Amino acid sequence: MTLNKSSDKEIKHGITKKEFIVFFIMLSVLWMILQTANFQINPCYKNDNFRDTDSFMRMVRVDELHGTNNWYDSTIMRSDAPVGETLHWSRPLDVMLLVGADVLSPFVGFNRGLEYWAFVMNTLLGIFALAAACWALKPYFSRMSRFFAAVILTLSFGFFGMFVLGDPDHHSLLLTLFILQIGILFRMLKKEYPEYYSIVGGVISGLAIWVSIESMVTVALIFACIGLAWIVYGRFYLNRLRKYSLTLLVSIIVSIALERTPSSWLVWEYDKISAVHAILFFVVFAVISLMYVCNKYCNTLLKRILNTICGLFTLIIVLILWVPKLFHGPFVDVNPAIIPIWLDKIIEMQPLYKQGFQYMLSVTATILFAAASAVIWFVGGHFKQSTEKSELNPFFVFIIGFFVFFTLTVFQIRWNGYMFLILYLMTAVGVAIVTEKVSKIQLKAVRTLLNAAVLVSVILIPVACSAIPISNTTVSNDSIDYPTRDLCAWIKNNPNIFKSGDIIDTEVNYSPEILYRTNLSVIATPYQRNADGILYHYNLMNLKDDNQIKHMLKERNVKWILVAKPAAKYTGKSCFYSELLNNKTPSFIKETVISDKLKKYFLVYKVGSSMINNER
């Protein structure tokens, strides 16, 4: 049977618990081998040991937290210099990196310990995520299903690519928390599990929202599934939803208290956990509590549907009147001027249809495999088993989740990790059902042949879908092979030329690594809150008048300008950027001599402050 039994002792055609543990250890070793191989061959790491801009910026945050011990002040003064930049990120991942670095610091020092731990933490978290996926499926699915889930996730780049080496990024942590929330959701749906899972779920969901606001989509999925179970099967589920929403509200309030200073507890921000989210979940809890009070009159399906409609209507009206900007998403306060010149060009913000034929083919194949598993599930009679127990069928969680995250992925590719995870889990369940059916065939030759076919399929399914170019990076394709690390080493090795704190203006994708590897300050960084810095660099590069250029450079006391040579010949309009590429600069800017290796990729210019002052 694919539905898990509470005893889980009779494994006539499956695998024992000890065998499962041995297989999982072997998969964990394979996981590390594959991740190491990916690090060796992936062009993202050709010139560095970290994957992208977010990795370097996270390292800067953690290093400054360690240096200042100021938990509440996350402003990076060397970014968007001389003003300083405050990111939309929160502290949980900083703590994970800081703890690992502190453990290693007695042996290799803090800085080296931080770099070592940041390099491997993401991949080790992936092993935990694999174990979490096996745990998440336990309430409804057999040990064989969980085994195949671990195998498929290990071999599927849609999951594998979220946990690569050298990528200390919060997206992998979010995916891990998503898996835990799915496991909690299954336990909230299954009546034999105690109600404290509703409380545990609220805590985990609160932590996930603290890590990133995008986790509110997962919370909405939980509300939708438990709410649907209540509509169909009655009061039992509404009580669990009430406890979940209350614990979630408390977790949100505690998170705000931990993340922010008391003076900013009432500040409204939409891209980071704040009072506005406490208001949201207070209203949600109040509405659910009101529905719970009215539930005693809702003894029929129609009445529960009407109760739900009234509750949703009340929720929406109150939120529209109280926090209307909430409906515009986390980017509601982003300066519109940076959308066409930067935000719309980020890889993870691109829509699905722009990913190319190979990507679309891989997505289609993954969906078809999962759809086949859903058909096998329903045709095999497993749907009836859940219905007879007055429990929402677990495959509805997969189906609802898939449509939610597929819709989001259509508009922004950054949601694909959640979608692929759901599809992989569905596929694993289908493979397990087929395996169990095959194991009952009496003819040994036929059984062996079919088992071999299933085994090959388990390997080929994820491999066939692994052409998917998953990426969380904001680095453009043209900049992947640029030796930024060598450039930073050259800057650091010339302290007589580059003074600590000197401001260098460069393109957004190079600023985070310069911040991490040197003592220079930067202006533009690839984050939505740094609209002033992004616009400054963009406007400066597009100027034509020398006096205007001079004025802008003096405005921020810029000492250096770094230009990365484009992969293809620049054919755009004549402007300050084109003058820098052609070394036809104003008299107050002089090219700095660098090595031939670096000159192939970069141009470095010194801004003469004395010449600027003399030519006013």
Q: SS3 for 573-595, per residue?
A: CCCHHHHHHCCCCCCCEEECCCC
Helix (H, G, I), strand (E, B) or coil at 604: strand
Residue 583 has a CB neighbour count (10 Å cut-off) of: 10
Could you read off the pLDDT of 218-230 as tens digits, one per residue?
Answer: 999 999 999 999 9
Q: What angle do CA 294, 296, 301 make, to 5 degrees?
A: 90
Beta-sheet pairing, 602-607 with 558-564: antiparallel
Q: What is the mean pLDDT of residues 363-374?
A: 85
Q: According to the model, what pLDDT value does residue 188 have?
A: 94
- Both tokens of 588, joined, read 């107050």
Q: How far apart are CA 541 and CA 538, in angstroms?
A: 5
CB 56, CB 114: distance < 8 Å = no
| Per-residue pLDDT at 407 | 96
Q: What pLDDT does 477 receive?
A: 38
For residue 13, pLDDT over 60 is answered with no
- 382: pLDDT confidence band, cut at 50, 70 and 90? low
pLDDT band at 465 (very low <50, low <70, confident <90, very high): low
Residue 235 has pLDDT above 90, yes or no: no
Q: Are the C-beta atoms of 391 and 189 separated by less than 8 Å?
A: yes
Identify whether the C-beta of residue 38 lies closer than 8 Å to the C-beta of residue 108. no
- Please state, in angstroms and as integers, the Cα–Cα distance from residue 24 to each residue in 70, 153, 267, 422, 449, following that order: 41, 12, 46, 20, 25
Place of tokens 């034929």: 357
What does the pLDDT average to over 599-614? 77
**CA proximity to 4, closest of 602, 429, 517:** 429
330-364 residue pLDDT tens: 999 999 999 999 998 888 889 988 888 778 888 88
Mean pLDDT taken over the chain: 87
Tokens for 323, please give them.
Answer: 């926090």
* Single-letter residue type at 550: K
The structure tokens listed for 162 are 């979220």
Residue with tokens 């700095």, as numbered in its chain: 592
Is residue 503 a contact partner of residue 560, using CB atoms and an 8 Å limit? yes
Query: Which has the closest alpha carbon to 286: 242, 235, 251?
Result: 242
Residue 199 tokens, joined: 């409380």
Residue 140's H or E segment, with its range, is none
Q: Which of 163, 162, 167, 131 is nearest to 149 (CA)?
A: 131
User: Tens digit of pLDDT for each residue in 479-506?
Assistant: 447 888 999 999 999 999 999 999 999 9
- Quick check: 504 and 558 in contact, CB under 8 A? yes
pLDDT (tens digit, 9 = 90+) per residue, 400-432?
A: 999 999 999 999 999 999 999 999 998 888 888
pLDDT at 518: 95
Using DSSP, state whether 273 is helix, strand or coil: coil
Q: Quick one: which H or E segment has residue 241?
A: helix 235-259
Higher pLDDT, 443 or 436: 436
Strand-pair partners of 590:
606
Can you read off the two tokens belonging to residue 250? 């408390």
